[in-house]
């Protein structure tokens, strides 16, 4: 009887192995289909909201900017290749004084990270009301994250991101995640910047004469100071605003400019 049990177990394992091999072969030869998404939703921001949380692991590009209305507006559009079409939703939920925005999917594909899909060009754009002056938290898995012109009291960024860019932010910013490149531009540096986690290169761009102190305790990291793209060995840094770097960050570049050109991070957004 024991031999029969062992034989049955062996047959079962062989069968499962064969099925796994066939499934692998089938999936590697499966044809990817092309799908597009174009969704737009909005919600009125209630007066008691003290924090906005944005969670996205579906879009390749995430953009956060300002609107001069009372509504939080969310746009999700673009295309991706996949083995099947997926129903992606933008979900709003409110608990106590926190408004949460989730980009989620129904069914099995809610467990799949769309940001790594082939030819994913999905862009998530979140418009935050200009008179919202409280906390903004962003948790993203994305190729690009851009934040521009928001007027919140502080910003927290976490996740796995290839490129993070910010411009015209006037509040304390904390960045903690796996982010290859960080580029932050300040026309007026009047707040603190704290970066931890893992990154390859951090660029902080400020106007010449800005007031700041650098605290770089990142393991194996070095700080370079530039003036108009030239190495500057005579930088005198004073002030109460702090640029803090710790964790596993390779390089910090502080770039001072005599003239800081007007730029925009919002390539495809109509303000």
Residue pLDDT, tens place only, 103-121: 877 655 544 544 444 557 8
Percent of the chain with pLDDT over 90: 54
pLDDT computed for residue 240 by the predictor: 85
- Residues 188-201: pLDDT tens digits? 888 999 999 999 99
What band does 219 get if pLDDT is binned at 50, 70 and 90?
Answer: confident
pLDDT computed for residue 195 by the predictor: 96
**183 and 163 Cβ atoms separated by less than 8 Å:** yes
Cα distances (angstroms) measured from residue 32 to each of 37, 61, 83, 111: 16, 21, 5, 18
**254 and 243 Cβ atoms separated by less than 8 Å:** yes
What is the rounded distance in angstroms from the CA atom of residue 20 to the CA atom of residue 11? 14
pTM of the predicted model, to two decimals? Answer: 0.82
What band does 262 get if pLDDT is binned at 50, 70 and 90?
Answer: low
pLDDT computed for residue 30 by the predictor: 55
Q: Inform me whether the pLDDT recorded for 232 exceeds 50.
A: yes
pLDDT computed for residue 115 by the predictor: 45
Highest mean predicted confidence (pLDDT) among 16-30, 202-216, 251-265: 202-216
pLDDT computed for residue 85 by the predictor: 64
Give SS3 for 153.
Answer: coil
- Residues 117-151: pLDDT tens digits? 455 788 999 999 999 999 999 999 999 999 999 98
**201 and 251 Cβ atoms separated by less than 8 Å:** yes
- Residues 28-84: pLDDT tens digits? 555 667 778 899 999 999 999 999 999 998 888 999 999 999 999 999 998 877 666
- Which tokens hold the place of 189? 């540096």
Type and span of the H or E element at 63: strand 61-67
If you average pLDDT over every residue of the chain, what do you get?
Answer: 82
pLDDT computed for residue 65 by the predictor: 95
């Amino acid at each position: 009887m024991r031999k029969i049990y062992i034989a049955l177990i062996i047959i079962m394992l062989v069968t499962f192995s064969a099925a796994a091999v066939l499934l692998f072969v089938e999936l590697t030869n499966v044809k990817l289909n092309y799908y597009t998404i174009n969704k737009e939703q909005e919600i009125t921001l209630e007066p008691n909201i003290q924090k906005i949380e944005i969670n996205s692991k579906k879009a390749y590009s995430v953009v956060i900017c300002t609107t001069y209305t009372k509504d939080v507006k969310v746009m999700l559009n673009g295309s991706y290749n996949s083995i099947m079409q997926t129903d992606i939703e933008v979900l709003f939920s409110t608990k106590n004084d926190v408004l949460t925005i989730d980009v989620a999917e129904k069914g099995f594909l809610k467990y799949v990270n769309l940001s790594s899909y082939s030819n994913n060009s999905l862009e998530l754009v979140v418009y935050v009301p200009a008179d919202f002056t409280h906390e903004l938290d962003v948790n993203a898995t994305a190729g690009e994250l851009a934040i521009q012109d928001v007027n919140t009291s502080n910003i927290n960024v976490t996740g796995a991101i290839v490129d993070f860019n910010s411009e015209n932010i006037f509040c304390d910013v904390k960045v903690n995640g796996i982010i290859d490149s960080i580029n932050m531009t300040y026309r007026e540096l009047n707040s603190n910047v704290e970066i931890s986690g893992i990154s390859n290169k951090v660029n902080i761009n400020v106007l010449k004469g800005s007031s700041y102190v650098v605290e770089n305790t990142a393991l194996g990291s070095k700080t370079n100071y530039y003036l108009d793209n030239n190495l500057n060995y005579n930088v005198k840094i004073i002030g109460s605003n702090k640029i803090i770097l710790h964790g596993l960050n390779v390089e910090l570049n502080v770039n001072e400019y005599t003239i800081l050109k007007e730029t925009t991070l919002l390539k495809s957004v109509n303000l």
